[in-house]
Amino acid sequence: MTLLTDRKRWDAEALRHIAERDDPEAAWASMNVRLFAELQAAVDDNDRDALKRACRRADLRRVELSLVDGGAPDPALDAYLELILRSTPLSVYDPPEGPAPYTRSIDAARAFVAEALPGFWVSSGLCGLTGHASLWPDYNGPHGERLFREWPEDECPCEWSEDLAPGNGIGRECRAILAAAVRALSHRHELTGAARPGRDRSAA
């Protein structure tokens, strides 16, 4: 499969995920069905790496769905985001004391991006229609060489962006930043999975 075809597949996957969010119940059901199938396959193959990857994929999706489904600051979701930064399974729910206020502070939301996706630029704002955010590797910045290596342009979408109804105001902008960042992390998760030796890229 060519890189161009791969990119079209990943873009289609992102569009499907966004479309699913119009029906949250269906989105959660789809996530759980995929998780169960992947866990079963990992157990059958006695593949611990595949087991961990399946859980990580589901955790990222779970946080994404939670971010776009609400508007008020949510300390529990802030704690989940801390766990995402540490690659700790969400099932091991032992939240740190005083997690950063990611869902209620623009500075904290941007700090999440800086730690989770070092070298990315972030653009965000709030208007009467949406809380918007876009992010993308800053290939022209000081981290450019590493970003070209870790986030090849021909294997990434043009950007990760979110437009969320304004709801409670600034919290929507925070959630838009965080949801875009989590989607970028999900993309990276799929890229690294596709690059594993002995795997067919089309199966990622």
Query: Given this model, what pLDDT does residue 12 score?
Result: 63
pTM for the predicted model, two decimal places: 0.78
Q: Which of 186, 83, 71 is nearest to 130 (CA)?
A: 71
The average pLDDT across 82-105 equals 74
Helices (H), the chain: 3-20, 24-44, 48-68, 75-85, 106-116, 144-150, 170-194
% of the chain with per-residue pLDDT over 70: 75
Q: What is the tens place of the pLDDT at every residue in 160-176? A: 888 887 666 778 899 99
Q: What is the CA radius of gyration of the chain?
A: 17
Q: Long-range pairs for 95-101 at CB < 8 Å and ≥24 separation? A: 99/75, 101/73, 101/75
**Interhelix angle 24-44/48-68, nearest 10 degrees:** 170
* pLDDT band, very low/low/confident/very high, at 16 (cuts 50, 70, 90): low
169 backbone φψ class: left, alpha, beta (φ>0; ψ -120 to 50): left
The most confident of the ranges 43-47, 92-96, 124-128, 144-148 is: 144-148
pLDDT at residue 3 greater than cutoff 50: no
Note the residue count of the chain: 204
